[in-house]
Amino acid sequence: MNAHAPATAPIERLLGGFTPDFDFIPAGPIPVAEYAERMRKLKREAVSAGHDAIVVHCDSVGWFHAAHAYLRYLCDWMREGVLVIPMDEDKEPVLLSFFTQSVILPPGGEPVGIDRILQIGAVGREYADIPGDSGAKTIEATVKLLGEIGAGRGSIGFIGDKRSAAFRAALAAAMPGAKFTDQHGILDRMQRNRSAAEIACFRSAAQLISIATQAAYHVARPGVTDYEIYAAFTMAQMARGGETGDGYQIGANEWGTHCGKPYGRRMRPGDLGNLYVSNVTYQGYTAQTARMFAFGELTARQELVLDACTRGVKAAEKLIRPGTLFRDLNNAAFESYVDAGMLGDAEARTMPYNWSTAPDGGPREIRRQYVPDADYEAQGRMLMHVYPAVAGPHNPNLGHSVGMAGGQNAFNISSHNYDKLEEGMVFVMHTQWLEPQSAGCNIGDMYVVTADGFENLSRHTPLETHRVAA
């Protein structure tokens, strides 16, 4: 059957009668006073390092998204921008923005604590029949502002990401008398332990995932496509305040799962589905979970893998409290893999995992082999390689920190992390396993460390595999 053929009934009816089994509690925006405190901490560290100014650069990426979360963390600005922050108390911060063709306008995202905004303008012959380049004009304006505050030949701390490299290089070339140093670590350290207001936003984001997962379960049945399951998930969370629908993956096949996007597969008896939610965002804060659902009877190997992964998360969860080593969390989860004969030990350095290199450290050949897939072939395509290339966990670790959309991981939960858990840390623990054309699992919960233990932020949907009658 063609996966793109019209359904016998409107697909929008699939969510008819759906109601989540708990009440969603939307957190309010981060208080203005908290943004002021973030700016105070940033300036204090910058002054201690001898800087005269801080420059925060954020570009745009596809689908009208900011490239990273630093500007949103500092002043709740959701677009591209360059924030120039003088260290002198009598000089105000200035935001340079509107230098791309992005069409996003506030709200959301009025910059908190920033009174002066300069619109650079999107120019160019093709776009506006005006000569010039918006990137060059942004650099010119930044140089002028830094000169006006007396930092033209000073020490400047630069905060950005990989997409900021060209801007940083051009700015340094235009200011040969100034000294530039990368200072993104200041904001990374500030986000290691989260405030009560931030945790409330994480909690709401996790609740959105739980509601969306319940909606996906509501529509999951043989004959329904992965498109429809993905759409039900998206509808349920975005209708309640979720900010994006492209931050998660769905796996659907008869062997296990891939970290992929929907492609039109119709679910069949014996199939396994996976919702690997890498980013549902609320007020800029993200949540992550992973859940499995099975359509009818599975193989013994598949049941063994599902059981080992489920036991792994639950074993690690029992250890969550301030003072526990990240290594101990990781190793507790992988003990169930070792018991099941799936792994020899929990050490990241020697662990086989899906995206590992060749044994010599070089590139690994992906095995070329025809893999039947009727729904993919109905679209005129064929699956001609076996994925993943290596059987094992998706990652050689248990999990990682969870932060703002586009943010960097503050830590990984791995065998080589001898750091200790601290109150206010937020992270996901997901046990994952994929073996080609055999079995797979990807499940996980999101946690915040409390003074005496933890709160499971994704507790509203069970960790265990959801069973669909088929």
User: What local confidence, expressed as pLDDT, does residue 202 receive?
Assistant: 98
Question: Above 90 in pLDDT, residue 107?
Answer: no
Q: How far apart are CA 449 and CA 372, in angstroms?
A: 45
Contact 277, 289 (CB under 8 A): yes
Q: How far apart are CA 163 and CA 66, in angstroms?
A: 11
Give me the mean pLDDT over the 416-445 stretch: 97
Question: Where along the chain do its domains lie?
Answer: 11-21+192-468, 50-182
Q: What is the pLDDT of residues 138-193, one digit of tens each?
A: 999 999 999 999 999 999 999 999 999 999 999 999 999 999 999 999 999 999 99
Q: What is the pLDDT of residues 31-44, one digit of tens each?
A: 999 999 999 999 99
Q: What is the pLDDT of residues 4-13, one digit of tens each?
A: 544 445 577 8
User: What local confidence, expressed as pLDDT, does residue 395 receive?
Assistant: 92
Q: Please, what is the average pLDDT of the chain?
A: 94
Contact 107, 68 (CB under 8 A): no
Q: What is the pLDDT of residues 81-102, one digit of tens each?
A: 999 999 999 999 999 999 988 8
Residue closest to 427 by CA, chosen among 199, 274, 220, 265? 199
More confident residue, 411 or 11: 411
Q: Which two tokens stand for residue 149?
A: 């505050």
Residue closest to 417 by CA, chosen among 327, 322, 323? 327
User: What local confidence, expressed as pLDDT, does residue 4 receive?
Assistant: 53
CATH architecture of the domain with residue range 11-21+192-468: Alpha-Beta Complex (3.90)
Residue closest to 439 by CA, chosen among 290, 307, 262, 291? 307
Q: What is the pLDDT of residues 270-285, one digit of tens each?
A: 999 999 999 999 999 9
Give me the mean pLDDT over the 330-343 stretch: 98
User: What local confidence, expressed as pLDDT, does residue 1 receive?
Assistant: 43
Query: Residue with structure tokens 């993104």?
Result: 184
User: What local confidence, expressed as pLDDT, does residue 247 receive?
Assistant: 84
User: What local confidence, expressed as pLDDT, does residue 226 receive?
Assistant: 95
More confident residue, 46 or 122: 46
Query: Residue with structure tokens 């979720």?
Result: 242
User: What local confidence, expressed as pLDDT, does residue 108 receive?
Assistant: 73
pTM here is: 0.94
More confident residue, 110 or 295: 295
CATH 3.40.350.10 fits 50-182, yes or no: yes
Give me the mean pLDDT over the 5-28 stretch: 81
Q: What is the pLDDT of residues 222-250, one digit of tens each?
A: 999 999 999 999 999 999 999 988 889 99
Burial code (b: 16+ CB inside 10 Å, e: under 16) for 8-34 equals eeebeebbeeeebeeeeeebeebeeee
Residue closest to 352 by CA, chosen among 313, 390, 311, 388? 390
Q: How far apart are CA 414 and CA 27, in angstroms?
A: 31
